């Protein structure tokens, strides 16, 4: 399974419709994207906490309302060919993706778990009839617990950074996750087999060279995140499409 990381972010500005359209054109199986809340509680697509790197504005994402977010240029930093590219609103992205491609939505940012944010996210996904076409993930496992408390069925992928194996396996089972998303440095022979025995998939981030893809494919992972979703087919890496 080839997952376009922030869309096809090697060839178009990350987390924009250009990167998502390119991912579909390059035949990715899934698109990964990051979401955050605007000041007025709308979910938008953005990786960094700050707008500086991709929009050239020295402010945190959470201080701008949606109306201001819509005026930003999220493409020029990458290349002038993409100037005027908008910050996607999750609602619009779900409409676009429906019947086209599944989404791994990574929840970023600081969220008040006592508020309405998680509920509004689940409602938006459900309103679009996309509950079976999304995989929700986060490095913040408290957010994933809140997701699971509100929805017993929505697919969850546990994002792991430095945590020990015993800890992330325990959490994944607790969350009834369908997949565990591991950084490439944690990948070892035998690990996918062990996770498969617990009925979960193993996805690895972020592989941008053929060598890394080959190494991880050889230990039996189910898929990987990459900025270059056509690299395996270009170079004829024998990955199984699912």
Annotated catalytic residues are 5, 47
Under a CB-based contact definition with an 8 Å cutoff, are residues 163 and 142 in contact? no
**CA distance linking residue 22 with residue 8, whole number of Å:** 6
Q: Which is nearer to Ca ion, 101 or 196 (CB)?
A: 101
Buried b (16+ CB within 10 A) or exposed e, 166-176: eebbebbeebe
Least Å from the CB of residue 204 to ligand G3P: 9
Nearest to 159 by CA among 4, 32, 15: 32
Under a CB-based contact definition with an 8 Å cutoff, are residues 19 and 54 in contact? no
Of these partners, ligand G3P, Ca ion, none, which one is at the site of residue 159 (CB under 5 to 8 Å by kind)? ligand G3P
Q: Which is nearer to ligand G3P, 67 or 223 (CB)?
A: 223
Q: Which is nearer to ligand G3P, 165 or 184 (CB)?
A: 184
Q: Which is nearer to Ca ion, 34 or 85 (CB)?
A: 34
Burial tier of 211 (Cβ tally within 10 Å: 0-12, 13-18, 19+) = exposed
Least Å from the CB of residue 60 to Ca ion: 18
Of these partners, Ca ion, ligand G3P, none, which one is at the site of residue 16 (CB under 5 to 8 Å by kind)? none
C-alpha dihedral (76, 19, 125, 65), degrees to nearest 10: 0
Quick one: which segment of 32-40, 119-127, 143-151, 175-183 binds Ca ion (CB under 5 A)? Answer: 32-40
Least Å from the CB of residue 26 to ligand G3P: 17
34 binds Ca ion (CB under 5 A): yes
**CA distance linking residue 155 with residue 127, whole number of Å:** 16
106 binds Ca ion (CB under 5 A): yes
Per CB under 6 A, residues contacting ligand G3P are 5, 32, 34, 47, 106, 137, 159, 181, 205-206, 225
Please work out the total of residues on this chain that contact Ca ion, with binding judged by CB under 5 A: 2
Would the CA dihedral through 48, 52, 54, 57 be positive or negative? positive
Burial tier of 220 (Cβ tally within 10 Å: 0-12, 13-18, 19+) = middle
Q: HSE-up of 84 (CA within 13 Å, CB side)? A: 1
Of these partners, Ca ion, ligand G3P, none, which one is at the site of residue 205 (CB under 5 to 8 Å by kind)? ligand G3P
Of these partners, Ca ion, ligand G3P, none, which one is at the site of residue 225 (CB under 5 to 8 Å by kind)? ligand G3P
Of these partners, Ca ion, ligand G3P, none, which one is at the site of residue 141 (CB under 5 to 8 Å by kind)? none
Q: Which is nearer to ligand G3P, 114 or 162 (CB)?
A: 162
Least Å from the CB of residue 67 to ligand G3P: 26
């Amino acid at each position: 399974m080839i997952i376009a990381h922030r869309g096809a972010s090697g060839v178009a500005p990350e987390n924009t419709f250009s990167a998502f359209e390119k991912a579909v054109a390059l035949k990715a199986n899934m698109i990964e994207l990051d979401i955050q809340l605007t000041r007025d509680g709308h979910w938008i697509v953005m990786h960094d906490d700050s707008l500086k790197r991709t929009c050239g504005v020295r402010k945190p994402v959470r201080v701008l309302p949606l109306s201001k977010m819509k005026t930003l240029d999220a493409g020029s930093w990458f290349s002038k060919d993409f100037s005027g590219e908008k910050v996607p609103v999750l609602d619009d992205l779900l409409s676009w993706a429906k019947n086209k491609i599944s989404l791994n939505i990574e929840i970023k940012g600081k969220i008040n778990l006592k508020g309405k944010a998680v509920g509004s996210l689940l409602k938006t996904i459900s309103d679009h009839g996309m509950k079976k076409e999304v995989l929700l993930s986060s490095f913040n496992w408290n957010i994933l617990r809140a997701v699971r408390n509100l929805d017993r069925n929505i697919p969850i992928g546990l994002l792991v950074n430095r945590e020990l194996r015993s800890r992330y396996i325990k959490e994944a089972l607790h969350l009834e996750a369908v997949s565990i998303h591991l950084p490439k440095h944690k990948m070892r022979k035998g690990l996918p087999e062990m996770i498969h025995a617990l009925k979960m998939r193993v996805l690895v981030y972020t592989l941008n060279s053929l060598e890394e893809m080959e190494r991880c494919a050889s230990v039996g992972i189910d898929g990987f995140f990459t900025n270059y979703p056509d690299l395996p087919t270009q170079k004829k890496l024998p990955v199984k499409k699912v």
